[in-house]
Structure 1
Amino acid sequence: MSDPAMPARFEKLSAPWQWCLLFVLSALVAGGLEFLGMPAALLIGPMVAAVVCGVNGASARVPEPAYLAAQGVIGCLVAMAIAPQVIAGFLERWPLFLGVVLATLIASGLLGAMVGRWGALPGTTAVWGSAPGAASAMVVMADAFGADARLVAFMQYLRVIFVSLSAALFARLFVDTSGVVAPPIDWFPTLRLPDFPATVAIALVGAFGGRVMRFPGAALLMPILLAAAYQLTGLGTLQLPEWLLAASYAAIGWTIGLKFTRPILAHAGRALPHVVLAILLLIGFCAGLGVIMAPVFGVDALTAFLATSPGGMDSVAIIAAASRSVDLSFVMTLQMARFVIVLVFGPPVARLIAGRMKG
């Protein structure tokens, strides 16, 4: 049984001690998840640590400027995926990519609506939580559009885990991936001039400029637009060192996790069976799309499965690279195309479905 006095004891700690404990716990959890090869460990670790502190009465909160700056960095990270070769690959097979992406987006929206209809989660929250891919961006945008970011994060990152495990399991039927490991992380690379200062400037100007606009999601969308323009016009190359990404992930994870309370955590636990069912249905639907794609468009089964896998882009890339038979360009082009399209069409689809549910 939990100790009802525990929150009160935690609240008696001074702010510096609360932050110290939160930082240490975040490092331990993130390190453990990285050791286990868990995707998005640098985001999930701080979020889990913040949930533990939040439900036990922590009063520490991430300052809004730090949260906005973190959104700007995430926006630049999204823009790095919008490369000329990805756009060229999309244009070559745009009917296929657009059809698959829109089918996945509609299916995820309907599954989110089902979760909302079951009463497990509020309608808008369920729809945002079911949106495929771009988990960190979806959490940020869901918060901007009025959904409960805590429960959206719960759904999104639970799906990332399921998708990564299912992709690895499916891949083992075709190729041995036991010797494939992620490349070592260079935490402190040499900072390039003017790329790094330009990237930081774009992140800050875009995020804080978007905040001034008071348009939902603008603090994330403005950096994406500015960074994509900077990169695609040839003005320079974006640079996001791993330490900056880790700090941004931590700021977002802490912001979300510290908002958790014991009633919210209990609510998430009650919704778990419905959420898991929705995740498995979405994975099954995407696998079905892959089965249809494989013979029609002349790609192998593993390529089709990995290309349509709804999330876990990093792990999908590692698994795809393990087999010479996999068309890595096809896989990543479809993944990137969906990533961008979900960012553009996710908000209106979520609002449309949630609005109809309220009606």
Structure 2
Amino acid sequence: MTERDRTPLRAAVLVLGITLVLSVLLSWAHVPSAVLFGSLVGGMAHALTSPRVLALPPWAFRGAQGLVGITIGSLVSLATLASLGPALLPIVVVTLGTVAISLVAGRLLALHGEVSRVTGAFAMIAGGASGVVAVARDLGADDRVVTVVQYLRVFVVLVTMPLVTAAVFHPDHGLGRYTAGDASGRADLAFTAVALVVGLLLARVVRFSTATLLVPLTVAVALGATGWFGEPMVPTVLQWLAYGLIGVQVGLRFTRASLASIARLLPVVLLIIVAMVAATALMGAVLAWLTPVDGLTAYLATTPGGLFAVLATAADSGSDVTYVMAVQLFRLVVILAFTPLLARWLRGRPGR
């Protein structure tokens, strides 16, 4: 049987097999969002080698978006955000400054003839990479470009953060440990099920772009605030499933022409990302100047991505983990809450 004769069953086996193998290998290599990367390549492997169209059912992708929203929502602690207290105004200023840096970076990317303003903005927006990727197409952006650029930024952050931390701040190590947790109990399953069902039902009622992510996210925050489920998290297997479905969906939309186009973008994208990471580090310096917080804590609080690695670094160096978590989550919530308005504004502007 030739590649042109590949049946849907063989195509599904190919996608699933590559996804599983790559996800395991990338997890061993400690690559962030390993399942999303593995599934992205799995979807591409079929899309680039066969003319047969393979697509996920719409309900599966909506469910994946909802699970990503709940995963993000489970991290949002109202008590943690409230702990920002009197530092809220400087944090708002720095957050808006970081968003402005992201938009400038996105506009620079959009100067390239093959990238729209909406795609450039959401490819470069700093924070909530998994959430932005999940809703990129709903917002009118090219989710293929957004996925590649978002996770390239995360990779650059993860590579540069230890170097900057060691070279600039010279912290001690081994002072603490941050554990993200591994949800598997019945309370976590109940929390996820309730948030997903209620969230997706409400999303069908309100009907706005990104509702399938933002409404379950909001429901998850509300449920977490009640304390009924303790400190719940989405079970890891369900997180893997959500990232896998999103990665496959994006990968299946690749063509050889789109892959070549993205490859041509990468040198420019890398330069913009490095400049953006440096500019957000300056935002950290501004935060340290405006508040009593130390320089390392401020730097970690303003890094544009890699949340769990940032929190682990903060704990290991003795920085204020709660402060870092609160600032990072504040920016994430702001970005995800205003993505529909931002997309509408960018689409309504004159020009390409």
Q: Does 1:189 align with 2:184?
A: yes
Q: Which moved more, 1:308-317 or 1:286-295?
A: 286-295
For residue 199 of structure 2, give the secondary structure of its aligned residue in structure 1: helix
- Over the matched positions of the two proteins, sequence identity in percent amounts to 30
Q: Could you tell me whether the CA contact under 8 Å between 2:178 and 2:311 is conserved in 1?
A: no
Q: Residue type of the partner of 1:159?
A: R
Deviation beyond 6 Å, 4+ runs, structure 1: 176-182
Q: Which of 28, 46, 49 matches 1:53?
A: 46
For residue 96 of structure 2, give the secondary structure of its aligned residue in structure 1: helix
CA distance in 1, matches of 2:178, 2:80: 22
Aligned match of 2:117: 123
Q: Which of 3, 6, 20 matches 1:13?
A: 6
The TM-score with structure 2 as length reference comes to 0.91
Q: Residue type of the partner of 2:284?
A: G
**Closer/same/farther in 2, CA of residues 333 and 213 from structure 1, 3 Å limit:** closer
Q: Residue type of the partner of 1:271?
A: L
For residue 144 of structure 1, give the secondary structure of its aligned residue in structure 2: coil
> 1:185: how far off?
7.5
Q: Which of 71, 79, 103 matches 1:77?
A: 71
> 1:184: how far off?
9.4
Q: Which of 118, 133, 139 matches 2:133?
A: 139
CA distance in 2, matches of 1:119, 1:59: 28
Q: Does 1:93 align with 2:87?
A: yes
CA distance in 2, matches of 1:146, 1:184: 33
CA distance in 2, matches of 1:156, 1:249: 14
CA distance in 2, matches of 1:94, 1:348: 23
Q: Could you tell me whether the CA contact under 8 Å between 1:71 and 1:219 is conserved in 2?
A: yes
Deviations 1:141-170 (A, max 9, x none): 221112111111111111111111111222
Q: Does 1:224 align with 2:217?
A: yes
Aligned match of 1:4: none
CA distance in 2, matches of 1:229, 1:54: 40
Q: Residue type of the partner of 1:62?
A: L
Q: Could you tell me whether the CA contact under 8 Å between 1:294 and 1:300 is conserved in 2?
A: yes
For residue 307 of structure 1, give the secondary structure of its aligned residue in structure 2: helix
Q: Residue type of the partner of 2:211?
A: A
Aligned match of 2:35: 42
After superposition, residues 1-359 of structure 1 pair within 5 angstroms as: 9-57=2-50, 59-173=53-167, 174-175=170-171, 186=182, 189-192=184-187, 195-211=188-204, 213-237=206-230, 238-324=232-318, 326-356=319-349, 358=351
The TM-score with structure 1 as length reference comes to 0.89
CA distance in 2, matches of 1:301, 1:216: 38
Q: Could you tell me whether the CA contact under 8 Å between 2:199 and 2:215 is conserved in 1?
A: yes
Q: Could you tell me whether the CA contact under 8 Å between 2:103 and 2:121 is conserved in 1?
A: yes
> 1:110: how far off?
1.6
Q: Which moved more, 1:197-206 or 1:79-88?
A: 197-206
**Closer/same/farther in 2, CA of residues 38 and 181 from structure 1, 3 Å limit:** farther
**Closer/same/farther in 2, CA of residues 179 and 247 from structure 1, 3 Å limit:** farther
Extract unaligned runs of 5+ from structure 2.
none
Deviations 1:161-210 (A, max 9, x none): 11111112222332476999985975x83323xx5234213213423542
Q: Which moved more, 1:255-264 or 1:230-239?
A: 230-239
CA distance in 2, matches of 1:134, 1:116: 21
CA distance in 1, matches of 2:235, 2:320: 28
CA distance in 2, matches of 1:253, 1:182: 28
> 1:56: how far off?
1.6
Deviations 1:37-96 (A, max 9, x none): 111112122112222322222533221111111111111111112212222123442102
Q: Could you tell me whether the CA contact under 8 Å between 2:90 and 2:290 is conserved in 1?
A: no
Q: Residue type of the partner of 1:189?
A: S
Q: Could you tell me whether the CA contact under 8 Å between 1:53 and 1:258 is conserved in 2?
A: yes
CA distance in 1, matches of 2:347, 2:101: 14
Q: Which moved more, 1:41-50 or 1:294-303?
A: 294-303
Q: Could you tell me whether the CA contact under 8 Å between 2:105 and 2:276 is conserved in 1?
A: yes
Q: How many residues align?
A: 348
**Closer/same/farther in 2, CA of residues 319 and 246 from structure 1, 3 Å limit:** same
Q: Which moved more, 1:260-269 or 1:238-247?
A: 238-247
Extract unaligned runs of 5+ from structure 1.
1-7
